[in-house]
Amino acid sequence: MMAVPMSRERFEELVADALDSVPEQLLKLLNNVVILVEDESPPDGPRLLGRYEGYALTERGVDYGAVLPDRITIFRNPILSICRTDAEVAHEVSVTVVHEIAHHFGIDDARLHQLGWG
């Protein structure tokens, strides 16, 4: 399959659109999180579409504080490589953004797959 050609700027717009589609009530619950776009997933592991790094809200206790923000990273080239059209890219970005946000709320991969966000 040939990767969809798309500028980084357009891809970042799709990430912003995906975030805009998340209900405001959920976005307000995001706590100490930054969302980034990188071109490639880390070379030392599987080819990822997105990754959540940090402490899920369900893991934070009274001792949580003075920590760097959690990171949600959306990986541009891996997503582009599995899509054939711009519409597929937009869909995959949306699914990936929701998937990674769900990790922030403590939802694991198995449950996300059951819910259709895997």
Residue 64 in domain: no
Q: Tell me, what's the pLDDT at 2?
A: 58
Residue 33, domain CATH: 3.30.2010.20
Q: Tell me, what's the pLDDT at 17?
A: 97
Per-residue pLDDT for 4 more than 80?
yes
Average pLDDT, the chain: 90
Coil, helix or strand for 73?
strand
Asked if 21 contacts 58 with a C-beta cutoff of 8 angstroms, the reply is no
Domain extent at residue 24:
8-55+69-115
Asked if 9 contacts 76 with a C-beta cutoff of 8 angstroms, the reply is no
Taking the chain, what is the end-to-end CA distance rounded to the nearest angstrom?
21
The band of 3, judged by pLDDT with boundaries at 50, 70 and 90, is: confident
Residue 3 in domain: no
Residue 29 in domain: yes
Asked if 35 contacts 72 with a C-beta cutoff of 8 angstroms, the reply is yes
pTM of the model: 0.89
Q: Tell me, what's the pLDDT at 61?
A: 79
For residue 116, the surrounding DSSP H or E stretch is none
Per-residue pLDDT for 1 more than 60?
no
Residue 63 in domain: no
> Looking at the 3D structure of the chain, how many domains does it have?
1
